Amino acid sequence: MDDIPPPPPLIDDLVEKNKDVHEKLLKNSETASSQYGVNIFIVGLFLMFAVYLKIMGLTESDRLMFLVILMLIQVVWMIFYICVSDRKKWAPTEKDGHAGARWLRCGIVLFAITTLVMHALKLGYFVGYSECIPIIEGIYPVTHIVHTFFQVYFLWCHSKDVIKSFKTLERFGLIHSVFTNLLLWASAVATESDHQLEEHMERLKSLGFTNLTLTYPTDIAHLECNCSTNLCKDFKKGIYYIYPFYIEYQILASAMLYVLWKNIGNKTSHLHHKNKLNFDGVYVGCFLGLIVMAATIGIVAIYLLNIGRSKTNSEAALSIYYFYSITVLGLMSIGSLLGLVIYKTEKTSVFKEKSPAVKLDAELLVGSSIGSWIISWGSILAIIFAEHHPTYTWYNLPYSILVIVEKYIQNLFIIAYINHTPQNNLKASHIEIPIETGQVSVPAESTDFTTSKGIEVQQQASMQNQQSKKDKTHRPPADRKNNNRKLVLKNLTVLLFLCNLSLWIPPAFGCRPQYDNGLEATVFGIMPWIVLIDVALPFSIFYRMHSTYSLFDVFCKI
């Protein structure tokens, strides 16, 4: 009896063990690829700082060459992925319905167009000074144009993919792409800071700030030859105006690539909510939102026409901008708080979304809020510790506080709804249709009514729809209360949607009181403050764009 061998392991146990081993391998490849990406990013940042501070004998050409190599590696990987995907067209590809939203893809295309224009101007600038600047100054924009073309095509066609093959290779390729775009963003922020410095020194002088000192070296080696096309100044000016859009492009691309990376090997859910647009009864929200948008356009025009002209005009422009912003931010804070209260009082059952794209939406809302919070807390500290306080700077205090409060409450409101889908918004897998002897469950995908019994079922379904329409006119008080709650939520969501869209306009088109009021620069120093603003402001602009899309998603779910 002792020599009897033990029974073979059960098949289920073997499957479970293989599954555990597979999950460990996937987790290891995710960890290894993320560490690779972080190290690439650190090397790029140290190279940028070394060039900027003129240490270790590194030059701008070395930094540009490093970025060119990273972009070319990404292009090679994207070509490989596209070719493999084209060869597998016969096989069904899993898609994440929440990833690669239309607004993101359209935004990528629009910002990519501005990026191509900017690098075309850089190429023209290089041609003008080709006799006295390194050849890498011309190679870089050409490489970036190629990189942008491939990346936009890749994101437009494959941003929803759930990758199931070559997982380890694709993880490294995607994380390389994410951190390449982040390094390009960091490079753009540093260049933007240099461009901003001279202009804002002039604006601050118009407000009477003449004792500002620079705490970082800003001496830039000027070219010692003439432009051969006589258009170099125009090229340089055009590049300066396009940089904010280029910065937004890099942030959007990084976010979409990160979702792809997180989706590798995931199981997709087939339960997705339906995006139904119904604007019935949202006239109040639309009316108030359109008033805010019209006021925004007027404020932007007043600000740009008056700032930097004279001390009186600049102070008036800043005061008007602060009054407008305080009013809009206060309205948005009240609206978000009311929407959050309504959500907390709801008793309907919900399903929590598990898509990485939905999770990333919530993380991006909080992460991109940090930019505005940094600026606002810096302004509050500057108001507290400044020695002199011009009148308009006191309006900056409630404005900064409201920026913090409004984003905090609005994030809670949006995340509460994008993380949960009402049960009645999910696609039903079966339709219950009553017939003479009872009820049968008919698959929604395969309702074939070609038989006589099928025709009878179709007639019964039609009668049921007519009956449901009659029932809508005689709803109980609980249903009417629920409908009124949804109507209020829809109006609040439309109002917040238009307000966020309006608040995106001023910073994107040049209204930047954080630069122009001068108070923070006197406390922190002009160069550190401008660098801080250039790092934080793109996130603030991205927040308004992302919250606009998220509110659209909330509106569809209500």
Closest by Cα among 270, 300, 339, 408 to 554? 339
Rounded to an integer, the average pLDDT of 53-64 is 81
Residue 209's φ and ψ, nearest 5 degrees, are -90, 100
Whole-angstrom Cα distance, residue 243 to residue 231? Answer: 19
Interaxial angle between packed helices 283-306 and 311-345, expressed in degrees from 0 to 180 and rounded to the nearest 10: 160
Mean pLDDT, the chain, integer: 75
Q: Is the pLDDT of residue 250 over 80?
A: yes
Q: Is the pLDDT assigned to residue 117 strictly greater than 50?
A: yes
Phi, psi of 268 (to 5 degrees): -85, 145
Q: How far apart are CA 47 and CA 494, in angstroms?
A: 45
Residue 233, CA distances (Å) to 125, 176, 245 in order? 8, 35, 20
Q: Where are the alpha helices (H) located in 509-525, listed in sequence order?
A: 513-516, 519-524
Beta-carbon contacts of 226 under 8 Å, excluding residues fewer than 6 positions away, are none
Maximum mean pLDDT: which of 36-45, 204-213, 319-328, 507-516: 319-328
Residue 60 or residue 164, greater confidence: 60
**Which H helix or E strand runs over 505?**
helix 477-508
Cα(97)–Cα(421) distance, rounded to whole angstroms? 14
List the single range of 119-128, 277-286, 477-486, 498-507 with lowest mean pLDDT: 477-486
State residue 78's pLDDT score. 92
- Long-range contacts formed by 199-205: CB under 8 A, 24+ apart: 200/515, 200/516, 200/526, 200/530, 201/526, 202/308, 203/307, 203/308, 203/314, 203/515, 203/516, 204/516, 204/518, 204/521, 204/526
Helix (H) or strand (E) holding 350: strand 350-352
3-class secondary-structure state, position 129: coil
HSE (side-chain half, CA atoms, 13 Å) at 311: 7
Lowest mean pLDDT among 285-289, 405-409, 437-441: 437-441
How many angstroms separate the CA atoms of 356 and 180, rounded? 21
> Is residue 431 helix, strand or coil?
strand
Which is higher by pLDDT, 169 or 477? 169
* Mean pLDDT (whole number) for 524-529: 76
Highest mean pLDDT among 57-71, 189-203, 356-370: 57-71
The whole-number pLDDT of residue 446 equals 43
C-alpha–C-alpha distance, residues 303 and 314, integer Å: 8
pLDDT at 468: 54
- DSSP code, position 447: -
Tokens of 371: 């930019």
pLDDT of residue 276: 56
Model pLDDT, residue 197: 67
Residue 7's SS3 state is coil
On the question of pLDDT at 363 being above 70, the answer is: yes
Spell out the residues 6+ positions from residue 314 whose beta carbon is closer than 8 angstroms to its own: 203, 206, 207, 306, 307, 308, 516
Q: How many CA atoms lie within 13 A of 3 on its CB side?
A: 0
Read off the pLDDT band of 329 (50, 70, 90): very high
492-to-407, 446, 486 alpha-carbon distances in Å: 15, 39, 10
Q: Is the pLDDT of residue 187 over 90?
A: no
Measured over the CA atoms of residue 123, residue 134, residue 214 and residue 212, the dihedral's sign is negative
**Which pair of structure tokens corresponds to residue 450?**
């070609």
Of 101-105, 327-331, 407-411, 484-488, minimum mean pLDDT range: 101-105
63 compared with 484, residue with greater pLDDT: 63
**Angle of helix 477-508 relative to helix 311-345, nearest 10 degrees?**
150
pTM of the model: 0.69
Cβ-in-10-Å burial (0-12, 13-18, 19+) of 520 comes to buried
